[in-house]
Amino acid sequence: MSQGKNENTQTNESPWTVLRLLQWTTDFFRSKESDSPRLDAEILLAHAMSCTRVELYTSYAKEPSDEERVAFREMVRRRGNGMPVAQIVGYREFYSLSFRVSEATLIPRPETEHLIVEALDCAANLPDNTECWIADIGTGSGVIAVTLAKQLPKSRIVATDISETAIEIAAWNAEQHEVDQQIRFVKSDLFDQVEEPARFSMICSNPPYISESEYLDLSPTVREFEPKSALVAGEQGTEIISRIVQLCESRLLTGGHCIVELSPMIAEACMELADKSKLFEKIHFIKDLAGHRRILSMCRR
């Protein structure tokens, strides 16, 4: 597929149908050690053909147009060079919603959906007369803020990020999902620029939690294409989470919840931070599908 003359010869012998393109591209991505070669191929081809992945399954015998194949070939080349699929197509699915992403934001990952589930469980246990103000620290593309706004229509959310570009993308996503009236986006380092509300019922965050040494071991796809500032917290990896725990003393209501995503590598250290703060009466981990401690949930005394 990648060489014009060879492709034309092969096309005369056997048409480049949807199925054949998917098979060839899956093998190519597998040789590049993609974690999900078939899924990558399907997403890119569906994007090139302006259809859904489901529609591909009923169109295996179809031959994409020359224009569609040219567009697909370019996307395959970029993916082969390590660029994440989400950045190539410009969006990522999260909690059954579609979110615009760019090189200025982290690509939403399935693990963060565990944070959403925990936040919804905690929100269900709040008193009915409690005004539910939620903070999303380090909002990135806005997946946490927007998803919670969709699921909790009576909530009010303040979403912060140090990146102006990330704030713009998150606000765009909120508008697309029609929850922009529920969310206030603020360019801020944690709560530095947030005066109101004084306290929150819930503080959620998928903060930077990678250590400097761990960053060097990340795959090139992550290290070269996603913003380092959204990944690396410092030498230990716990620096930002430590600051969030400290903020809970002044900014989290009694009985409120602080829920953060973390690396299993620093789970024990984060539990120690929570214990030593003496702020919380209930502290527990939520494990991801691989059985790793991924979410730390804390309830304020």
Burial class (CB within 10 angstroms; exposed 0-12, middle 13-18, buried 19+) of 4? exposed
pTM: 0.89
Q: From CA 132, how far away is CA 172, in angstroms rounded?
A: 23
How far from the centroid of its chain's Cα atoms is residue 66's Cα?
34
For each of the domains in the chain, give its residue range(s) and CATH number, in order of start.
Answer: 4-78 (1.10.8), 91-300 (3.40.50.150)
Q: From CA 152, how far away is CA 148, in angstroms rounded?
A: 6
pLDDT averaged over consecutive 10-residue blocks of the chain (301 residues)?
A: 47 83 97 93 97 94 96 96 95 95 93 97 81 95 98 96 97 98 98 96 97 91 92 97 98 96 96 97 95 97 93
Total length of the chain: 301
Q: What is the pLDDT of residue 272?
A: 97
Distances (CA, A) of 118 to 121, 154, 174, 185: 5, 18, 21, 22
**Residue 296: CB partners within 8 Å, gap ≥ 6?**
241, 259, 260, 262, 267, 270, 271, 274, 283, 284, 285
Q: What is the pLDDT of residue 14?
A: 86
Q: What is the pLDDT of residue 7?
A: 46
- For residue 94, the cross-strand partners are 97
What is the β-pairing status of strands 133-137 and 252-261?
Answer: unpaired
Q: What is the pLDDT of residue 44?
A: 97
- For residue 155, the cross-strand partners are none
